[in-house]
């Protein structure tokens, strides 16, 4: 709702009656009336500071803007395919190069297959880069942050304000992802995709805010078709500017495990109980409640789910950070980068991206298998094989950065390890 106050609109949480952080100018509030997570409609007045005629005029203006912008609360509208201008992502399969990589790997001074997953990675990275001399150049990770209207359903152990507080922690260099990125010489980029907070101009923060969080998908689509397209395009545009040939993806957003679980439930048709986990640390009763929220929400949007269009499912249940990650993944694969896939939320974005461009999976390294319930099923659904198994479920992209040394090891042994011939070492008897 909106409250007219001293020439500005103070934002309020319609579900909980709590003041939202920040104020926005009156004209900006009207312009963004139907793209923010809270409902900017003059339904309830905190103070009677405007005459009735002015209030009526404001309400008319807001409703007209809603009609123009294609608000999600209007009859269902198919999401725009913002990926239609993309080059089709090619498969990395190349019989001749695959044979050359196998020969190079097998001729190193070791028993056949003895480097296990490192050999798998060396072959995969070589195929992505189209060379037997693969290398890791300027690895980077992007953390996308956004808020979710679904938190109104009490699906998180933490309040929504933690999202923006953790973004501040990222900017201050104090989060786990900061520590691990520094340790592994990985560039780190922080993106405001749709946090319910006004950060202002900040060093180190990339402002790509679509709105102040999504809507509550238990009641209506999380975002409009246009918002979804905007977020996906923003992810593509951002990756177009990133240097290097390895890109990881991280996220921050209270409520986003619920969004990811809903995407999983809608796309795989697995029972909600197999898709929903503890998230930020819910107790058993909280998990059961979260399961019901997801199950009921997917049933509520049965018409969208039945059409099985990935962008529509993304718009209905996703978050702005998840949508941006979809776009970022697609552009990264188009650029033949190695995609480092983190945990549950990141993999839910990959499910959407892979439905749009199946060959994207050739470019993906599944960094780890999260302890978040449902992640193992997600990876299995996508045919992935995780590099690490460490009981992680933090998010932020931490698993991706922790797996980065394995990628370095894979390309380094391929480039630097001696062959039997060069080391004058006898090979296995025939």
312, 331 Cβ separation under 8 angstroms: no
Beta strands in 92-213 (DSSP E): 140-146, 187-194, 205-207
| Whole-number Å distance between alpha carbons of 258 and 254 | 9
Show the low-confidence residues of the chain (pLDDT under 50): 1-50, 52, 55-56, 60-76
250 bridge partner residues:
143
Distances (CA, A) of 341 to 59, 144, 310, 374, 395: 45, 14, 19, 15, 11
258, 148 Cβ separation under 8 angstroms: yes
pLDDT of res. 78: 63
pLDDT of res. 423: 79
Q: Is 323 helix (H, G, I), strand (E, B) or coil?
A: helix
In this prediction the pTM is 0.81
pLDDT of res. 243: 93
Given 251, 321, 372, 396, which residue is catalytic? 396
- Which of 248, 280, 247 shows the shortest CA–CA distance to 261? 280
| Whole-number Å distance between alpha carbons of 191 and 9 | 25
* Sheet-wide strand order for 140-146: 205-207, 187-194, 140-146, 246-252, 338-341, 364-366
| Whole-number Å distance between alpha carbons of 244 and 186 | 10
pLDDT of res. 427: 83
180, 398 Cβ separation under 8 angstroms: yes
> Could you tell me the two tokens for 129?
């880069």
- Which of 154, 155, 195 shows the shortest CA–CA distance to 36? 195
State the residue for tokens 């001074």: 109
Q: Is 396 one of the catalytic residues?
A: yes
Give exposure, 224-242, as e/b (b: 16+ Cβ within 10 Å): bbbbbbbbbbbbbebbeeb
For 46-94, the pLDDT digits (tens) are: 434 445 455 445 554 444 444 444 333 333 456 566 666 677 999 999 9
| Whole-number Å distance between alpha carbons of 105 and 419 | 9
pLDDT of res. 82: 67
| Whole-number Å distance between alpha carbons of 398 and 103 | 34
| Whole-number Å distance between alpha carbons of 128 and 245 | 10
Within 13 Å, how many C-alpha atoms sit on residue 30's CB side? 14
360, 329 Cβ separation under 8 angstroms: yes
Report the relative pairing of strands 338-341 and 364-366 from DSSP bridges: parallel
The alpha carbon of 55 is separated from its chain's Cα centroid by a whole number of angstroms, namely 39
Phi, psi of 2 (to 5 degrees): -120, 145
């Amino acid at each position: 709702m909106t409250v007219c106050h001293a020439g500005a609109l103070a934002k309020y949480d319609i579900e909980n009656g709590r003041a939202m952080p920040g104020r926005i100018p009156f004209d900006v509030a009207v312009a963004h009336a139907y793209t923010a997570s809270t409902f900017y409609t003059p339904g309830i007045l905190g103070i009677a500071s405007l005459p009735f005629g002015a209030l009526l005029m404001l309400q008319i203006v807001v409703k007209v803007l809603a009609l123009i912008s294609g608000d999600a609360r209007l009859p269902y509208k198919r999401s725009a395919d913002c990926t239609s201008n993309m080059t089709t992502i090619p498969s990395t399969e190349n019989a001749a190069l695959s044979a050359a990589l196998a020969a190079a790997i097998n001729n190193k001074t070791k028993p056949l297959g003895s480097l296990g997953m490192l050999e798998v990675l060396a072959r995969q990275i070589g195929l992505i880069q189209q060379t037997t001399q693969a290398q890791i150049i300027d690895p980077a990770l992007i953390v996308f942050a956004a808020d979710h209207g679904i938190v109104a359903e009490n699906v998180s152990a933490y309040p929504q304000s933690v999202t923006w507080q953790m973004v501040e922690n990222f900017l201050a260099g104090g989060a786990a992802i900061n520590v691990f990125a520094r340790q592994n010489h990985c560039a780190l980029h922080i993106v405001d995709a749709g946090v319910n907070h006004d950060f202002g101009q900040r060093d180190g923060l990339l402002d790509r805010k679509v709105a102040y969080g999504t809507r509550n998908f238990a009641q209506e689509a999380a975002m409009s078709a246009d918002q979804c397209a905007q977020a996906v395009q923003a992810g593509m545009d951002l990756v177009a500017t990133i240097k290097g040939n390895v890109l990881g993806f991280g996220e921050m957003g209270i409520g986003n495990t619920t969004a990811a679980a809903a995407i999983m439930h809608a796309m795989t048709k697995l029972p909600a109980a197999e898709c929903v986990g503890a998230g930020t640390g819910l107790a058993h009763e909280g998990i059961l409640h979260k399961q019901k929220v997801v199950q009921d929400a997917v049933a509520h949007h049965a018409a969208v789910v039945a059409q099985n269009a990935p962008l529509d499912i993304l718009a209905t249940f996703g978050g702005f950070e998840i949508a941006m990650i979809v776009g970022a993944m697609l552009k990264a694969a188009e650029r033949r980068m190695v995609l480092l896939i983190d945990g549950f939320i990141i993999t839910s974005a990959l499910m959407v991206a892979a439905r749009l461009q199946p060959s994207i999976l050739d470019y993906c390294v599944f960094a780890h298998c999260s302890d978040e319930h449902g992640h193992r099923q997600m990876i299995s659904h996508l045919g992935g094989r995780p590099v690490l198994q460490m009981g992680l479920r933090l998010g932020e992209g931490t698993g991706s950065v922790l797996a980065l040394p394995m990628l370095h090891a894979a390309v380094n042994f391929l480039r630097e390890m001696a062959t039997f011939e060069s080391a004058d070492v006898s090979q296995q008897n025939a």
